[in-house]
Amino acid sequence: MKNRFDLIVFDWDGTLIDSIDWIVNCLQSAARHCGCNIPEDQAAKDVIGLSIANAFSNLFPGVDQEMVMKLAASYQQTYLSWEISRNDLFPGVYDMLVELKNSGYQLAVATGKTRTGLQQALRATATEDLFNITRCSDETASKPDPLMLHEIVQYTNVGYERTLMLGDSSYDLQMAMNAQISSVAVLCGAHPKAILQQYHPLMCVQQPAELLNIIRG
C-alpha cells in the first residue's frame, strides 16, 4: 500500500489504546448502578464504537431517554476515573504515529467517545498534536453513519480514494464502507476477524503498529 494513501483515520478505543476491558467494566458498572440487567462481556463489547447513548439503547432496548441519560452519566463518571497514560497505547503505536506524521501523512481520529473523554485521553498520552483533526460522537453522527468521515475528509481536503480507516469494530468498518473509504481491520479490540471480514477490509492485522510496515510497502 506504499504511496496509496495521504490521510489515515484511526478509531481510538481498541484500535490505538488497550481499553476494551475497561469499557466493558464501565458499561457493566453503569448498568449495576442504574438497576438494569448487567450485560455479558461480549454483549458489552458488541456496542463499543457506538455513541454512549446508542450503546445503552442497543443494550437495553425499550428503556426511556431519561434512563439512557442516567446510564451514560454513570458510565462517563466511571470511565473518566481511569488514569490513562501513554503506556496504555498498544505496543509501538506512539512511535508509529510520530513516524507517519513526520513522513507527511495527515492523521485523524474518528471515535464513538465524547469530546471530554477523547481530550482527556489525548492529553494523557501526549498524542493531541499528532492529529490534524479528531471527531467524536457527541459532535456529529454516531458510527456507522459516515458523517464524521465526510467531515474529516472535507477538513483535510484529501480525496476519499486517498483515505484509509483503521478500526477494530464492525461499526468502524461499516462506517468506512458507507463513506466508500478503504479500511484495515485490527484484531486486538472489540470484534473478531470473522465479523470484521464481512465489511471487506483490505486486510486484517493483529496489532495496529503493523500498519507502519504495510504503509512503507
Q: What is the pLDDT of residues 9-24, one digit of tens each?
A: 999 999 999 999 999 9
Same structural domain, 12 and 29: no
Tens of pLDDT, residue by residue over 176-195, are 999 999 999 999 988 999 99
Bond prior to 208 in cis (omega within 30° of 0):
no
Check pLDDT > 80 for residue 146.
yes
Quick one: what percent of the chain has pLDDT higher than 90?
Answer: 85
Please report, for the domain that includes residue 193, its CATH number: 3.40.50.1000
Side-by-side strand order, sheet with 7-10:
133-136, 106-111, 7-10, 163-167, 182-186, 204-205
Check pLDDT > 90 for residue 80.
no
Check pLDDT > 80 for residue 163.
yes
Identify which has the larger pLDDT, 89 or 213: 89
Same structural domain, 166 and 71: no
- Structure-block grid coordinates of residue 24: 466493558
Same structural domain, 107 and 129: yes
Q: Which domain holds residue 127?
A: 7-18+86-216
Residue 1 lies in a domain: no
pLDDT the model gives residue 184? 97
Distance CA 22, CA 99 (A): 28
Which residues fall within 8 angstroms of residue 147, CB to CB, at 6 or more apart? 140, 141
Strand partners, 135: 110
Domains contained in the chain, number? 2
Mean pLDDT of the chain: 94
Residue 2 lies in a domain: no
Final residue before a domain boundary, out of 35, 51, 79:
79
